[in-house]
């Protein structure tokens, strides 16, 4: 549509709206269109007034003045940033928080610059602001989309009350490699589950009206394929084929875009030889082209500069050209655009239309947030005082924390614990720790504010509880944040713990990783229990085998010995502020666990990458010679715990599994039903999962693919019929040209409580 047609349409709509108002029959859709057009018009008219310097200024995102979430940039003094702010050369800031601080930078932008354009205020609100939910990987184990959405809502409510209008979340990177520390930040290994979670988180942050002062713009990151960093090593090369890119990596990003996410962040990795910050293919062809995304793309922290270190640009000037042409709209703390772009446009090297497109996208989000109507909409001190840390937020994060816990093993029904008359020894370096459960990415929360497992268990007073660390945490400091290790040399506490274990009925051991042992920059090659914890576990086991092991960790761990020996294992992740209460309620049976693993647990590091939706290979089974088939000679092919695994204190029985028909045409909707009965002694919840296998494809298909799930509550003895629908959306895949296709052929369908369920049926698609 050209400008004249646009104006005619606008006038027409205004007349229609006027008539609607007069007749009191204004339709919602008329108003919608009106609102849309007026944002675009407002953007255009502002853009027309801007100098080139002011436009490039909008593409500049500076870090604030105290929190740092990346390497400190050169030449980024606070003084220079203030000067740029006053000139209108800053479009957004990150790591400024608290109403007073935000108000001050916003005031400079709005009241001291020529055009008074308000700032976006970004922050990593990853799993809460001050009141923390479980780390995202843990929350994903709930498979409870409503709870996940609500947790993002709580995070947005607190962050917005502190002046923040934009979160760098959700991270929707799929990863199959628990060596990569950032798996704690995502939804796990599966694109289907990951897509549902991406949507829930976007809707939670953004709500249904972005102009409200408690909704904030979300950011789908890191676009794309960061989770496939080679060998799980942080910031590494990524080399994957088209099929993995389209079928595994991109779906959660597409789901975020379809859910209306306002921004995307690119990433530090290269993809098939091109640093993704400079990838036209990802940002222009796919995101802004095929997907028609109309928000903006922010670079990751100085990732435009990193194009140079990757060896793809010789200097900042060339990095700026590559990134701008590729569609990276906003430069996060790289200082590259602000230094290079004006001149590049003046020389005609970068077209001004590229700048205009980027600035239009950035301004649009600012208008959509309502910042032009009231730049201080997020700056209300009363709101800040009342909302941050509100009791109802503590209730909400406790709720999602309980839902995130996964019961991995419960031999002999050791759990739940009896509430009275028991002697219990609580052992482990993490048992009384109030910091680690907060997890990584909790910049605005106060240190040491989580409820510890000890505190949670002390709420139950009917038993005798003693506490023994066994081994200590060793706390050091790096330039950024507290670095923590678990003791590797000091054995002095082990004897005391063993002596205590000898005299009790049950031992509860809290072991795993400290919260700062996973997260950004924390790749690891050993995934067993760090430090002396394995030694402690075995020493205690030698005197008392009645052990409940509570794991605290930000990623799958390789705990094969524990799985073989310890009767009860509870995956307690890093569950945020209410961690210890959630764990204690599960241990004592006041909450019946229903979490399911969103990532496969390996037997050892050598099995990685290990994931449930692998390909068959040409030699999938042992044909009696024991050698020439796809396997390792020293470890089984199966994982320690499969994707989708998780037990309950009750039991569930599946029956009447039916695919309603045997032959279907492409495009048909296929109905699948199954009855699930609670056959145990407790009310409970089960995540009923549906997987398919497309037996033959023009591109080989995984042995199983999750294509549906439902979280169902069942009272003792109750049966419910669960219905799934399969149609083109579930039955197709992307070919190597990136086209979505559905092929005729034979399919298997599996239903059950984990990815290794054996309940199977089939159908043919003609």
- The contact set with ligand BGC (CB under 6 A) reads 69-70, 94, 124, 168, 221, 300-301, 520
Bridge partner residues of 641 (DSSP): 601
CA dihedral 348, 354, 355, 360 (to 10 degrees): 150
* β-pair type (166-167, 219-223): unpaired
| Residue carrying the six token digits 């194009």 | 307
Cβ closer to ligand BGC: 67 or 472? 67
Cβ closer to ligand BGC: 69 or 578? 69
CB of 221 to ligand BGC, least distance (A): 6
Cβ closer to ligand BGC: 268 or 573? 268
CB of 423 to ligand BGC, least distance (A): 46
CB of 164 to ligand BGC, least distance (A): 12
CB of 168 to ligand BGC, least distance (A): 3
Cβ closer to ligand BGC: 173 or 730? 173
CB of 525 to ligand BGC, least distance (A): 21
* β-pair type (663-664, 760-765): parallel
- Whether 700 and 615 have beta carbons less than 8 Å apart is answered as yes
DSSP state of 247: I
DSSP-derived 3-state class of residue 706 = strand
Cβ closer to ligand BGC: 61 or 765? 61
Cβ closer to ligand BGC: 443 or 543? 443
- Whether 152 and 396 have beta carbons less than 8 Å apart is answered as no
Cβ closer to ligand BGC: 169 or 320? 169
Could you tell me the two tokens for 234? 């942080």
CB of 301 to ligand BGC, least distance (A): 4
Give the 3-state DSSP-derived string for 269-282, with helices as H, strands as E and coil as C.
Answer: CEECCEEHHHCHHH
Cβ closer to ligand BGC: 142 or 440? 440
Cβ closer to ligand BGC: 160 or 263? 263
Could you tell me the two tokens for 446? 């106060």
- Whether 447 and 435 have beta carbons less than 8 Å apart is answered as yes
Give the residue among 104, 67, 69 at the shortest CA–CA distance from 86: 104
Number of helices (H), then strands (E), in the chain: 23, 28
Q: How many CB atoms lie within 10 A of CB 614?
A: 16
CB of 298 to ligand BGC, least distance (A): 8
Cβ closer to ligand BGC: 124 or 139? 124
**Distance, first Cα to last Cα, the chain:** 42
* Active-site position among 124, 144, 173, 300: 300
Cβ closer to ligand BGC: 69 or 131? 69
CB of 94 to ligand BGC, least distance (A): 6
DSSP state of 601: B
Buried b (16+ CB within 10 A) or exposed e, 372-411: beebbbbbbeebbeebbbbeebbebbbbbbbbbbbbbbbe
Burial class (CB in 10 A: 0-12, 13-18, 19+), 152: buried
- Whether 508 and 426 have beta carbons less than 8 Å apart is answered as yes
CB of 72 to ligand BGC, least distance (A): 12
Entry field: residues in the chain? 766
DSSP-derived 3-state class of residue 139 = helix
CB of 315 to ligand BGC, least distance (A): 23
Q: How many CB atoms lie within 10 A of CB 23?
A: 8
DSSP-derived 3-state class of residue 198 = helix
CB of 352 to ligand BGC, least distance (A): 29
CB of 96 to ligand BGC, least distance (A): 12
User: What's the rounded Cα separation, in Å, for the pair 572 and 551?
Assistant: 5
Q: Residue 659 phi/psi, 5° resolution?
A: -95, 125
Which contacts of 731-734 are long-range, i.e. CB under 8 A and separated by 24 or more positions? Answer: 731/666, 731/692, 731/694, 731/707, 731/765, 733/247, 733/694, 733/697, 733/699, 733/701, 734/242, 734/243, 734/246, 734/247
Q: How many CB atoms lie within 10 A of CB 176?
A: 23
Cβ closer to ligand BGC: 221 or 366? 221
Q: How many CB atoms lie within 10 A of CB 475?
A: 12
User: What's the rounded Cα separation, in Å, for the pair 58 and 585?
Assistant: 49
- Which residues in 534-605 belong to E strands, given as ranges? 547-552, 568-571
447 is catalytic: no
- Whether 592 and 582 have beta carbons less than 8 Å apart is answered as no
Could you tell me the two tokens for 474? 């060793």
User: What's the rounded Cα separation, in Å, for the pair 377 and 368?
Assistant: 12
Q: Which residues are catalytic, by number?
A: 300
């Amino acid at each position: 549509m050209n400008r004249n047609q646009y104006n005619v349409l606008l006038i027409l709509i205004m007349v229609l709206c006027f008539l609607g108002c007069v007749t009191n029959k204004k339709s919602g859709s008329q108003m919608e269109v009106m609102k849309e057009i007026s944002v675009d018009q407002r953007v255009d008219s502002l853009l027309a007034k801007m100098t080139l310097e002011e436009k490039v200024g909008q593409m500049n995102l500076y870090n604030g003045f105290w929190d740092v979430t990346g390497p400190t940039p050169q030449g980024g003094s606070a003084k220079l940033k203030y000067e740029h702010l006053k000139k209108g050369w800053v479009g957004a800031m990150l790591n400024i928080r608290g109403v007073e601080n935000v108000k001050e930078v916003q005031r400079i932008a709005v009241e001291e610059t020529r055009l008074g354009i308000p700032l976006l205020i970004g922050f990593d609100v990853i799993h809460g602001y001050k009141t923390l939910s479980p780390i995202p990987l843990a929350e994903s184990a709930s498979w409870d989309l409503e709870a996940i959405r609500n947790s993002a809502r709580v995070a947005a409510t607190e962050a917005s009350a502190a002046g923040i209008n934009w979160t760098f979340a959700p991270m929707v990177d799929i990863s199959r490699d628990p060596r990569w520390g950032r798996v704690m930040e995502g939804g796990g290994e599966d694109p289907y589950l990951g897509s549902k979670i991406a949507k829930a988180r976007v809707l939670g942050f953004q709500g249904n009206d972005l102009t409200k002062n408690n909704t904030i713009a979300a950011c789908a990151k890191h676009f794309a394929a960061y989770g496939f960093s080679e060998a799980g090593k942080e910031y590494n090369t990524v080399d994957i084929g088209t099929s993995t890119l389209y079928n595994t990596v991109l779906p959660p990003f597409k789901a975020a875009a379809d859910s209306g996410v306002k921004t995307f962040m690119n990433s530090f990795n290269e993809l098939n030889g091109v640093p993704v910050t400079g990838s036209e293919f990802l940002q222009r062809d796919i995101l802004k082209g095929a997907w028609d995304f109309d928000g903006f793309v922010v670079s990751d922290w100085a990732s435009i500069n990193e194009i140079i270190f990757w060896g793809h640009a010789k200097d900042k000037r060339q990095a700026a050209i590559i990134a701008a042409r590729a569609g990276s709209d906003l430069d996060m703390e790289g200082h590259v655009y602000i230094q290079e772009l004006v001149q590049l446009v003046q020389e005609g090297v970068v077209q001004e239309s590229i700048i205009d497109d980027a600035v239009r996208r950035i301004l649009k989000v600012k208008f959509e947030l309502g910042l032009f109507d009231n730049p201080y909409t997020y700056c209300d001190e009363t709101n800040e005082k009342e909302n941050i840390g509100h009791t109802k937020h503590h209730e909400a994060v406790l709720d999602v924390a309980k839902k995130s816990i996964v019961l991995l093993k419960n031999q002999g029904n050791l759990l739940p614990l009896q509430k009275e008359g028991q002697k219990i020894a609580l052992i482990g370096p993490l048992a009384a720790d109030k910091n680690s459960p907060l997890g990584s990415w909790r910049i605005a929360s106060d240190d040491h504010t989580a409820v510890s497992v000890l505190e949670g268990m002390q709420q139950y007073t009917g038993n005798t509880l003693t506490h023994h660390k066994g081994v200590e945490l060793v706390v050091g400091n790096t330039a950024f944040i507290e670095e923590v290790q678990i003791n590797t040399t000091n054995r002095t506490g082990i004897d005391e713990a063993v002596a205590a274990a000898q005299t009790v009925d049950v031992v509860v051991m809290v072991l795993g990783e400290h919260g700062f042992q996973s997260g950004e920059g924390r790749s690891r090659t050993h995934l067993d229990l760090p430090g002396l914890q394995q030694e402690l576990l075995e020493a205690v086991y030698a005197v008392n085998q009645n052990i409940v092991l509570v794991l605290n960790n930000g990623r799958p761990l390789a705990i094969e010995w524990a799985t073989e020996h310890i009767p009860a294992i509870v995956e307690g992740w890093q569950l945020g502020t209410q961690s210890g209460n959630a764990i204690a309620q599960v241990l004592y049976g006041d909450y019946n666990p229903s979490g399911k693993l969103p990532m496969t647990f390996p037997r050892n590091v050598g099995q990685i990458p290990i994931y449930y939706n692998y390909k068959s290979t040409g030699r999938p089974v042992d044909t009696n010679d024991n050698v020439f088939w796809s396997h390792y000679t020293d470890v089984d092919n199966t994982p320690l715990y499969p994707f989708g695994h998780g037990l309950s204190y009750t039991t569930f029985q599946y029956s009447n599994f039916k695919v309603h028909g045997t032959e279907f045409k492409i495009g048909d909707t296929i109905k699948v039903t199954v009855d699930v009965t609670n056959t145990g002694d407790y009310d409970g919840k089960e995540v009923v999962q549906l997987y398919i296998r497309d037996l033959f494809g023009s591109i080989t298909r995984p042995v199983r693919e999750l294509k549906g799930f439902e979280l169902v509550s069942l009272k003792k003895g109750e049966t419910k019929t669960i219905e799934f629908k399969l149609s083109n959306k579930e039955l197709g895949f992307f070919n190597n040209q990136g086209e979505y296709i559905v092929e005729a052929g034979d399919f298997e369908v599996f239903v059950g409580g984990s990815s290794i369920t054996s309940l199977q049926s089939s159908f043919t698609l003609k």
